[in-house]
């Protein structure tokens, strides 16, 4: 065996790396976990925007679901249980969130979990040799920093926070990242209050995929393109990527209002096949020819066709709806991490909070009546609060970091293996 072969890092068992651009000058590593749909989507949005920058042709990107690829039992299974916990009612997840949400408490928990990811994470970093690591999940940050320190890595660690207002201590624990990208002024203020230097906290918005923009044609055309009645008002209903929560109970409770208003219903059940099956069984109660969908890739098309979005308070759904100018009625939130999103939407005026069936019915009666001035005002405010170019702005920030890293430190970009 030659010297070069002896130094080559072993491939970590079960580590799966999705990468692009086989010949490149710089290596970007995106770390996330498929808990919900937002973390992977945010990473993909940033990477898509990176490829459009002037540096894009010279960047090789790697995408790794860190806990699935590098974690082992019980850490891997514990993180993977997120979706299952949200589908159980009442969900145990909020209690876990609050019990772990403390600076000291999270540090202890993180240290306990480290042995169950450290080895494979180290091998994965040795294999990808990143210049910039972009963490898009709160639980990864401290682990990434620990392994980077052990490897004496010169990579820059950037944490992209995907919660709008209420931020778990895992995002900021130990100020592990070199730079923090946050989606709102409220998030920036909280990071600074926790001791992160202001010059390292950058309010650039929540990255969303391209394609989320207001209608370019009239509403009738947008509806017709999806097989919807162009003459009827449309209510789009979403419950997050996992399709958990109280939607199964809520829809029958507001069915009379939906029918009375003559609204056509489009429900996106996400990955929750049991929810979709149950709703398909009661379609006759949900108005005339409702569409009951599973996980879909063309959410933006449905947002442009809809008149109102009825949704849980997920940050991605809020950012995407605002970018489309779609007023939102928030019917549910995950206690802890999504509580601040209610105030965010209400303060921006792009939607209303309605946490009971009666409140939802009342909101729909106001917003869905023909010529509703409240609906028109909400559409304008949603667009005013939107940050549709956040992914592009973050990509430019990252390439700027790369350029400054080369210039100031003299560290040459790592050639990808």
The residue that leads in pLDDT, 297 or 307, is 307
- What is the tens place of the pLDDT at every residue in 179-217? 999 999 999 999 999 999 999 999 999 999 999 999 988
Tens digit of each residue's pLDDT (9 = 90 or more) over 331-364: 999 988 999 999 999 999 999 999 999 999 999 9
Res. 2: pLDDT tops 60: no
Host domain of residue 402:
3-208+389-409
CA–CA distance, 192 with 202 (Å, rounded to integer): 11
* Gap between the Cα atoms of 30 and 135, Å rounded: 6
- The CATH number for 290's domain is 3.40.50.2000
Same domain? For 380 and 400 the reply is no
Instruction: Please compute the mean of the pLDDT values over residues 170-176 and round it to a whole number.
Output: 96
Q: Is residue 255 part of a domain?
A: yes
The domain total for the chain is 2
Residue at 106 is within a domain: yes
14 inside domain: yes
pTM listed for this prediction: 0.90
Q: Is residue 282 part of a domain?
A: yes
Token pair belonging to 105: 């408490």
- Regarding whether 393 and 325 lie in a shared domain, the answer is no
| 224 and 203 together in one domain | no
pLDDT band at 302 (very low <50, low <70, confident <90, very high): very high
313: buried, middle or exposed (CB in 10 Å: 19+, 13-18, 0-12)? buried
pLDDT for 24: 56
Candidates 213, 271, 270, 204; CA nearest to 46 is 204
Q: Are residues 342 and 231 in the same domain?
A: yes
- Residue 213, domain member (yes or no): no
**pLDDT band at residue 407, thresholds of 50, 70 and 90?**
confident
User: Based on the domain organization, do 132 and 146 belong to the same domain?
Assistant: yes
The values of phi and psi at residue 352, to 5°, are -130, 155
Is there a single domain that holds both residue 165 and residue 245? no
Q: Are residues 10 and 99 in the same domain?
A: yes
Residue 110 sits in the same domain as residue 156: yes
More confident residue, 130 or 242: 130
């Amino acid at each position: 065996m030659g010297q070069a072969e002896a130094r080559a890092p072993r491939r970590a068992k079960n580590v799966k790396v999705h990468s692009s651009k086989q010949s490149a000058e710089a290596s970007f590593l995106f770390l996330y976990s498929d808990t919900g749909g937002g973390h992977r989507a945010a990473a993909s949005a940033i990477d898509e925007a990176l490829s459009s920058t002037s540096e894009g042709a010279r960047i090789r990107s790697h995408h790794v679901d860190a806990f699935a690829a590098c974690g082992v039992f019980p850490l891997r299974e514990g993180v993977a249980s997120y979706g299952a916990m949200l589908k159980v009612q009442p969900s145990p997840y909020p209690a876990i969130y609050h019990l772990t949400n403390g600076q000291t408490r999270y540090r202890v928990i993180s240290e306990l979990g480290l042995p169950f990811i450290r080895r494979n994470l180290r091998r994965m970093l040795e294999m990808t040799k990143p210049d910039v690591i972009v963490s898009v999940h709160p639980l990864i940050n401290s682990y990434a920093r620990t392994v980077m320190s052990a490897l004496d890595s010169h990579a820059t660690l950037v944490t992209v926070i995907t919660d709008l207002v209420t931020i778990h201590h895992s995002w900021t624990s130990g100020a592990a990242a070199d730079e923090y990208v946050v989606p709102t002024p409220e998030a920036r203020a909280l990071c600074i209050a926790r001791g992160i230097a202001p010059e390292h906290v950058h309010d650039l918005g929540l990255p969303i995929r391209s394609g989320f923009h207001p209608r370019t044609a009239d509403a009738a055309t947008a509806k017709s393109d999806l097989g919807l009645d162009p003459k009827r008002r449309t209510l789009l209903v979403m419950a997050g990527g996992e399709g958990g929560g109280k939607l199964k109970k809520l829809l029958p409770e507001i069915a009379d209002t939906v029918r009375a208003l003559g609204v056509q219903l489009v429900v996106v059940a996400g990955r929750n096949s049991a929810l979709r099956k149950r709703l398909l069984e009661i379609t006759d109660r949900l108005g005339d020819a409702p569409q009951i969908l599973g996980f879909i890739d063309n959410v933006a098309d449905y947002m442009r066709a809809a008149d109102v979005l009825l949704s849980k308070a997920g940050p991605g759904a809020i950012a995407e709806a605002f970018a489309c100018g779609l007023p939102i009625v928030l019917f549910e939130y995950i206690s802890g991490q999504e509580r601040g999103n209610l105030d965010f939407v209400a303060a921006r005026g792009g939607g209303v909070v309605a946490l009971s069936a009666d409140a939802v019915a009342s909101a729909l009666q106001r917003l869905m009546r023909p010529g509703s001035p409240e609906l028109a005002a909400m559409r304008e405010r949603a667009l005013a609060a939107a940050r549709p170019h956040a992914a592009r702005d973050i990509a430019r920030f990252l390439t700027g970091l790369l350029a400054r890293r080369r210039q100031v430190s003299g560290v040459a970009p790592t050639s990808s293996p």
